[in-house]
Structure 1
Amino acid sequence: MSSWSQALTFSSASAWDEVFTDFHGASRIKVPDRGAPWTGHLEWQRSKTYSLAQCSGGEEVVQRDTRHIRADPRGTHELLVPLAGSAWVEQAGESGEIGPGAMALCDIDRPLTFAHGTDLCSISLIMTGRNLSARSPRAAGGPQLLHGDRGLGRVIRQLITTLHEEREHLSETTFDIACDRLLDLVCLAVEGGVDSAPTGQRASVEAAIRRYVREHACDRDLDVVTIARALGWSARYVQQVLQAAGTTARDLVRRERLNVARTRLASASWSTYSIAEIAHASGFGSHASFATAFRAEFGITPREARGGR
């Protein structure tokens, strides 16, 4: 098993508490009887950007309140995907029971109650709030309960399950790339619902802008004027749409170029190209500016990303 992927079985609630809080933050964990036999199992993988964990265990109630958040702020959000059994989730006045047909996206730095019985088996994707809000301020703005049994929700559920199952065949770099795509789908589900495409003109325009930038990210002259001209809108309107979505054309282009470059650094097809050549081919004007932006975005250097292939 790789150093960033582990599996543990627990025979006591106290041992479980320690690992649970390491993943999810300081919390108050209640179990029916701490003196009684208790078992739990946890399999996880962690990169510098994402954590993905499958867990099952005994009955418990987890409460993370303002005192815990002040003492142990995380700046993270968590997508909880039950595979079997059910759990009760409550945050910011929203509450509900989720099972294999539902998912919950929660802010770990807002008071949260999470309870389940012995039948729960679930997968959790933990991501930074910064990474989430850059894609969707709405997704980062509060708890979201999503369907997971049809449409896009079912695709998300299947993808997160497969990502966990294939962890031994993924490097940290390819794991992060796959999690990025998964997070894109989660934000799309939050923005437009899992049963239909986003409605309304502004949402349609935003989707068209993002699609165009994704397809033309490596064009050296790509900017808000080029995007607007290609799509038939004014640059001012494009700026307004992106501003409402919590981003700018410049930031959107930079992020897409970084994603392209990271994929190429992990690809055998680009192994004969230098990092500077990949940076240039991905739309960056200089190796130095690319390296600085890459490290700020992903927390590792381009050389480290290539070494993790």
Structure 2
Amino acid sequence: MYSWSEALTLTSASAWDELFTGLHGASRISVPDREAPWRARLEWQQSTAYGVALCAGGREVVQRETRHIRSDPRGTYELLVPLAGTAWVEQGPSATEIRAGSMVLCDIDRPMKFAHDADFLSIAFIMSGENISARSRIAAAEPQLLGAERGLGRIVRQLTTTLHEEREELSERTFDLACDRLLDLVCLAAEGGTDTAPAGQRATVEAAVRRYVRQHACEPDLDVVAVARALGWSVRYVQQVLQDAGTTARDLIRRERLNAARERLAGPGWASYSIAQIAHSCGFGSHASFATAFRAEFGTTPSEARRRRAS
């Protein structure tokens, strides 16, 4: 399907509901007074894989709940790019305010609440989750706020706006190709490619990552993907934060596993366990790799460390 609409103006809130849910998925829409005069504007272009929609309407609250998702699953993400006014997005444990100068990326198949003022004007870039997963490991359990005033975020905002403005000049193939390039940049921005997070925020993320790794180091499947997913950050952003701190997720996990192993080798509660069993309990796949890493980290072998603590 490839379709577009030219500056459609609506004077009925009910007609708006039908068009809005057709584009964004089944939802419960609340407006202050459905009998009051209503005026809204909607322009969109949509292919099988992508959609771009400009929306302007009266004050409203949109709630997409679990029952809506079950009845109308979309498998899509949306990047909401405000041009004027203010809106609020709640998803998972987070609530985010957006206005011109910021953007938010949301998984439409997770329960969410969206509210905006009467003067809110925005463009939504709609993309399939399959296209995102082919490029990135973004896990949007909650809205991801992206800056749009400088750097990569500003480029994403400008391309989204230009794509909407030039939509009628594009064939379906050209439209999809342009959306492909825009999606590449959205994924990069969502993974921390903007490099605009303040130092204080990066320090907070680093501390959270170190704490999580310390608490879960002995889980055999722990890796940077699991850490990022658990903490709600992108993989690339976690990697960047650790790189700035002079380490990597692999090194951090290995070091914490070795610290746990050294404590267990010295602990009386683990005296009946073999060194291989302790290595396995700390997340190491083989005794040999554990022994090599232990000696490189502490300058002694696991056997020597156990004997020294026992003497």
The answer as to 2:128 corresponding to 1:121 is: no
Gaps of 5+ in 1: 202-309
Cα drift, residue 175 of structure 1: 0.6
Cα drift, residue 192 of structure 1: 2.2
Scaled by the length of structure 2, what TM-score is found?
Answer: 0.62
Scaled by the length of structure 1, what TM-score is found?
Answer: 0.62
Please name the residue that 1:40 is paired with. 40
Say if 1:179 and 1:167 are closer, same or farther in 2 by CA, change over 3 A: same
Cα drift, residue 102 of structure 1: 0.6
Please name the residue that 1:136 is paired with. 136
Q: Could you tell me the percent identity over the aligned residues?
A: 66
Please name the residue that 1:194 is paired with. 194
Instruction: Determine helix, strand or coil for the equivalent of 2:185.
Output: helix
Please name the residue that 2:57 is paired with. 57
Please name the residue that 1:84 is paired with. 84
Calculate the aligned-residue CA RMSD, in Å: 1.9
The answer as to 2:161 corresponding to 1:146 is: no
The answer as to 2:43 corresponding to 1:17 is: no
AA aligned opposite 1:82: P
User: 2:86, 2:112 → 1: CA distance?
Assistant: 17
5 Å-filtered alignment, 1:1-309, equals 4-7=3-6, 8-139=8-139, 142-195=142-195, 199=240
AA aligned opposite 2:58: G
AA aligned opposite 2:36: A
Cα drift, residue 141 of structure 1: 5.3
User: 2:115, 2:97 → 1: CA distance?
Assistant: 9
AA aligned opposite 1:126: I
Instruction: Determine helix, strand or coil for the equivalent of 1:35.
Output: coil
Instruction: Determine helix, strand or coil for the equivalent of 1:137.
Output: coil
User: 2:17, 2:65 → 1: CA distance?
Assistant: 16
AA aligned opposite 2:67: R
Cα drift, residue 190 of structure 1: 1.2
Paired residues, what number?
Answer: 201
Cα drift, residue 140 of structure 1: 5.0
Give yes or no for contact 2:84–2:119 (8 Å, CA) kept in 1: yes
Q: Which has the larger radius of gyration?
A: 2
Instruction: Determine helix, strand or coil for the equivalent of 2:5.
Output: strand
AA aligned opposite 1:176: D
Instruction: Determine helix, strand or coil for the equivalent of 1:48.
Output: coil
CA deviation map 1:163-206 (0-9, x unaligned): 111111111101100111101001111112423696266xxxxx
User: 1:96, 1:132 → 2: CA distance?
Assistant: 22
Please name the residue that 1:242 is paired with. none
Cα drift, residue 142 of structure 1: 4.4
CA deviation map 1:66-123 (0-9, x unaligned): 0111111111111000001110001011111100111010011100100001110000
Gaps of 5+ in 2: 197-235, 244-311
User: 2:185, 2:158 → 1: CA distance?
Assistant: 12
AA aligned opposite 1:96: T
CA deviation map 1:268-306 (0-9, x unaligned): xxxxxxxxxxxxxxxxxxxxxxxxxxxxxxxxxxxxxxx
AA aligned opposite 2:4: S
Give yes or no for contact 1:65–1:111 (8 Å, CA) kept in 2: yes
Say if 1:115 and 1:63 are closer, same or farther in 2 by CA, change over 3 A: same
Give yes or no for contact 2:92–2:141 (8 Å, CA) kept in 1: no
Say if 1:109 and 1:91 are closer, same or farther in 2 by CA, change over 3 A: same
